[in-house]
């Protein structure tokens, strides 16, 4: 490419700021012929857009989303509340620009597959923000499993515990509405856990059981202009219509069984995604709070020195050299670096003209599991994944 790719971001909330962080820092190292120009942040809350643009070095802030869609930027990143994606993403895809979207792309399987179909008809590069895949230690674990280091996978457990909803005074935002969100813990954080399970262990073919629970049934209404998960001082309340806790039992295409544990009210565990995978010759484990390492056990023939090894992420592992502060193992990579690595991979795909592995089809594969889980919970029966 002879000129920088110009970047626009739609959405200046928490996810939009993470995307801005990713594009800003992706300038460190992407590909020899890829550079970026940070053009604009668009959000109806113009003051917020101006603040985010200034913080991350974007040239402009825009209050009109359609103005950005109709502009001459090359790439648009979309990070909006779930219920706005079905309205905004079709217009962005129709513009012919390269598109990077925050997960989930739709609230329902129908919305997701419609957007997947539109994206597949585009010649532009499309990607979705399953950022945890880009953590070097998790990517290295996936590689080890794919290489057969632990044998044939028979059991896998993933979890995502968070405490952003543990305070009953947390404002009743769109995240607590089934209609606006498409799912509570099941979709908000479950999207990452389900994607991680399929990334490492294989595709899910059947939801054997799903249990959904809402522990905090009423929340105070939000104050105007609030973003994030903060408490509200409103004396008026409204009902929570989606789940705080979700437990899933799954069957995989390779015959393995899986379990997914999700909670957004896990007091004292602010943000923990993890996976444990067991095979016929060993096991491997990763947890995002200690994201710079993973553990692997490979059974030896004599058993004398059997035991899990603690492996530190380093330059020999995927994405590490692009995002770590220093080119040496043990310097630490975590949540922030994952956003940088996913944007770098997206930009490389644009440069190379190749498909991103976390594209709109990957988002629909995750959404098929969510859809089956919702149906399994309501019917109290096992549900096959729609192909």
Q: Percentage of the chain with pLDDT > 90?
A: 86
Q: Is 280 exposed, middle or buried (0-12, 13-18, 19+ CB in 10 A)?
A: exposed
Q: 245-252 and 126-128 as β-strands: parallel, antiparallel, unpaired?
A: unpaired
Q: In terms of Cα–Cα distance, which of 86, 133, 94 is closest to 110? A: 86
- Give every CB contact of residue 199 below 8 A, 6+ residues apart in sequence: 130, 133, 142
The CATH number corresponding to 133-358+365-379 among 1.10.3720.10, 2.50.20.10, 3.30.360.10, 3.40.50.300 equals 3.30.360.10
Both tokens of 285, joined, read: 């484990």
Nearest-CA neighbor of 220 among 206, 195, 239, 203?
A: 239
Pick the CATH number of 5-131 from 3.40.50.720, 3.90.1150.10, 1.10.260.40, 3.40.50.12780: 3.40.50.720
Task: Please report, for the chain, the start and end positions of each structural domain, with discontinuous segments joined by +.
Answer: 5-131, 133-358+365-379
Predicted pLDDT at 303: 76
Mean pLDDT of all residues belonging to the chain: 94
Rounded CA-CA distance 29/334 in Å is 17
Residue 235 has pLDDT above 80, yes or no: yes
What torsion do the CA atoms of 4, 52, 336, 349 make, to the nearest 10 degrees?
A: -30
Give per-residue pLDDT as tens, 82-118.
Answer: 999 999 999 999 999 999 999 999 999 999 999 999 9
Q: 322-380: per-residue pLDDT in tens?
A: 888 888 888 888 999 999 999 999 999 999 999 999 999 999 999 999 999 999 999 99
Please check the confidence at residue 191 and state whether its pLDDT lies above 90: yes
Assign 263 to helix, strand or coil: strand
Taking Cα atoms as reference points, which of 383, 384, 361, 334 lies closest to residue 113?
361
What value does the mean pLDDT take over residues 242-270?
Answer: 98
- Please provide residue 330's backbone torsions phi and psi, each rounded to the nearest 5 degrees: 90, 0
Query: Any idea which residue has 């991979």 for tokens?
Result: 345
Residues 371 and 386: beta-carbon distance below 8 Å: yes
Q: Which of 106, 243, 229, 245 is nearest to 172 (CA)?
A: 229
The rounded distance, in Å, linking the Cα atoms of 43 and 9 is 9
Task: Report pLDDT for 28.
Answer: 61
211 strand-pairing partners: 247
CA dist 292 and 35 (Å) reads 27
Token pair in block for residue 82: 């779930």
Instruction: Give the pLDDT confidence of 333-345 residue by residue, as tens digits.
Output: 899 999 999 999 9
């Amino acid at each position: 490419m002879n000129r920088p790719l110009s970047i626009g971001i739609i959405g200046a909330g928490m996810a939009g700021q993470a995307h801005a962080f990713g594009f800003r820092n992706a300038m460190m190292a992407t590909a020899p012929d890829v550079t970026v120009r940070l053009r604009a942040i668009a959000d109806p809350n113009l003051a917020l857009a101006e603040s985010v643009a200034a913080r991350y070095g974007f040239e402009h802030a825009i209050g009109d989303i359609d103005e950005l869609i109709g502009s001459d930027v090359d790439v648009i990143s979309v990070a909006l509340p779930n219920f706005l994606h079905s309205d905004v993403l079709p217009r962005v895809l129709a513009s012919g620009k390269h598109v990077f979207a925050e997960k989930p792309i739709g609230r329902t399987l129908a919305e997701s597959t419609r957007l997947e179909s539109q994206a597949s008809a585009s010649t532009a590069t499309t990607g979705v923000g399953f950022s945890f895949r880009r953590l070097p230690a998790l990517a290295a674990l996936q590689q080890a499993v794919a290489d057969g280091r632990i044998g044939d996978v028979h059991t896998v457990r993933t979890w995502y515990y968070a405490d952003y909803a543990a305070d009953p005074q947390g404002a009743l935002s769109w995240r607590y509405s089934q209609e606006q969100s498409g799912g509570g813990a099941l979709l908000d954080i479950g999207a990452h856990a389900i994607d991680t399970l399929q990334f490492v262990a294989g595709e899910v073919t059947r939801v054997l059981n799903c249990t959904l629970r809402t522990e905090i049934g009423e929340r105070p209404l939000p104050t105007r202009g609030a973003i994030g998960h903060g408490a509200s001082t409103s004396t008026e309340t409204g009902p929570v219509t989606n789940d705080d806790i979700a437990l899933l039992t799954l069957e995989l295409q390779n015959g393995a069984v899986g379990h997914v544990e999700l909670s957004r009210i896990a007091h004292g565990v602010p943000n923990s995604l993890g996976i444990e995978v067991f095979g016929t010759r060993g096991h491997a484990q990763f947890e995002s709070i200690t994201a710079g390492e993973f553990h692997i056990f490979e059974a030896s023939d004599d058993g004398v020195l059997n035991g899990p090894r603690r492996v530190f992420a380093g330059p020999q592992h995927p994405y590490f050299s692009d995002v770590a502060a220093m080119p040496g193992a043990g310097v630490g990579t975590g949540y922030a670096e994952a956003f940088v690595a996913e944007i770098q991979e997206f930009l490389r795909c644009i440069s190379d003209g190749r498909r991103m592995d976390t594209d709109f089809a990957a988002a629909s594969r995750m959404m098929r599991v969510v859809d089956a889980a919702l149906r399994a919970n309501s019917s109290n029966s096992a549900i096959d994944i729609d192909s």
